[in-house]
Structure 1
Amino acid sequence: METKIFKKDEIPEAVELLKNGELVAFPTETVYGLGALATNEKAVKGVYAAKGRPSDNPLIVTVADEKMMAQYVENVPERAQKLIDKFWPGPLTMILPAKEGSLSTAVTGGLPTAAFRCPNDELTHELISQLGAPIVGPSANTSTKPSPTTAEHVYHDLKGKIAGIIDNGPTEIGLESTIIDLSVEEPIVLRPGEITPEDLAKVLGEKVLMNKGTTKTAGVPKAPGMKYRHYAPSAPVYIVDNEKDFNDIPQRDDIGVVALDSVLDKIEAENKFSLGKTIDDAAHNLFNALRFFDNQPDIKEIYVQGFSTGNISAAYMNRLNKSAAGHHFHN
């Protein structure tokens, strides 16, 4: 299969492919997603096959607006409406009770709930609006690999496996959306992102919990990224929590070092990748850094800077801990 790169004026062609059950990757403000018509079970199963993704991992339903979402949920609770008014379109996914029979088990993982997101990207909004139906939207990468933040990343992983990729340049945020479960009594964040529990609590006027689960979650996970290892390059990743410990990293030419400029400027290392100047820069650049070294077969270990402060640090460390399988480097 030839994988075509679509530009802005070629959206109608991408729409036709989706209507015909083909897979098309699409841009968002977080990472690139892999789209299939959410109401076409065969196409949805094709997403699992293309990614090599476990079939008990539910998929996010990507919609053009709340009106489209309302067709697939039992009701839109007041909590959800408050969050929609504040954060949609944007990097927030909400889990709600699904309308019975509206979505196949290939989308929901057999759960009575579904995850909904309305991304802030003009090309993807146009795509779904013209399609007139939602698309599933897991990250457009091979399962377990770092999520794609450019169309080139998608092409690297999925060329020949999908029909097309809509290219809208590098993503703005670089980490996936926050996922909040609104189907339970106390709202809980199942995956951290740029929108924090504190941001959500302020809008909802109630406490928002944070899931402390790991990739060892038993049974069918309620949201993507809760059960299996994610974001992992081939070489093992080690988290460096203290800046001073970078001085003790092995000095070998098969080592990759990923950190802020302020750290890289102070250490001797042959293979460096800059995360930028701030924690926000680091969140934006993390997946690109992991992919950079994953494409170098001579790199045998990757050491990445960890963070404990900053609004997006929880989201950053969530992804990095999964990439490193929880391995930290200590002096």
Structure 2
Amino acid sequence: MKPASWRWVRPAAGALILAALVLRLGTDAFVDAMRAVDATALALGAAIALVTTTAGAWRWRVVARQLHVELAMPAAVVACYRAQFLNVTLPGGVLGDIDRGVHHGRSVDDLGRGLRAVAWERTLGQVALVVVTVGALVVANPVGLTALVAAVVGVVVGAVVLMGLTRVSRVVAADVRALSSRSALAKVFVASLVVMAGHVATLAIAARTVGVRMPASTFVPVALVVLLVAAVPLNLAGWGPREAAAVWAFGAAGAKASQGLAVAVAFGVIVFVSTLPGVALLSVGRRTSPNLASADAVARGAIRADARLGGGT
């Protein structure tokens, strides 16, 4: 499939998944979840997002340093907020990450390394998520062996998509060697744990907001499965696989399918609001970065980079 076609397959797949959920479960879960989200849930979500965004920015900075493209921590936090907002508002759910890769690459006069730093940061984060999810399923196994198999299959498919069947194996091998430092990997894993914990906590807030209760020993593995599937880049601004995974995972854990959908919708609303600082930072970042190109040029670069990265997250 041509890269241009692939860019439209991802959001189209997310839209189809949402349409299928609406046909099966109706719109009540969507409406009820949006009404249930209150100011307390939004404030807690925003506070958690500050922590997870900072942790994600630190992870990116560690990876970038290993690839010899320095990145200041304040700039990384600002870029991550911008990227999160773009990810939850633009089709495909990945253009924000590509945008920060393009901006960083151009600011250090090395677009390739800038893009690869983001790609590896996202890859290592997903690997950590897979390891923790599989471990949680082995220990608690609340949704059965099928979930474990699905997680492993998801990892394989995600890795293939992320690497885009790359033809630059020598570059990848060099990056792997650069990233193989135990100290760097330890930092990346710790940052990933903080990000995971924050996302699980946000899902817990969403669940409590819509009235879904279950023991932590069951909820945590279910939440991790939802987060893992949500990383699949076949979504419409983040929507689609996440909701389908919540319907299945929460249902397998004993809740109603509609409750799982409501949790995912509430989570989506909370996450969207928590990314709103990125709106202001979009314009601030454009005005204060003398080495960056115009918005139109960046957009064109992001699209070309999207094609080269194969749509990976």
TM-score (norm 1): 0.24
TM-score (norm 2): 0.24
Structure 1 or 2: larger strand share?
Answer: 1
Structure 1 or 2: larger helix share?
Answer: 2
- The structure with higher relative contact order (CA 8 Å, sep 6+) is 2
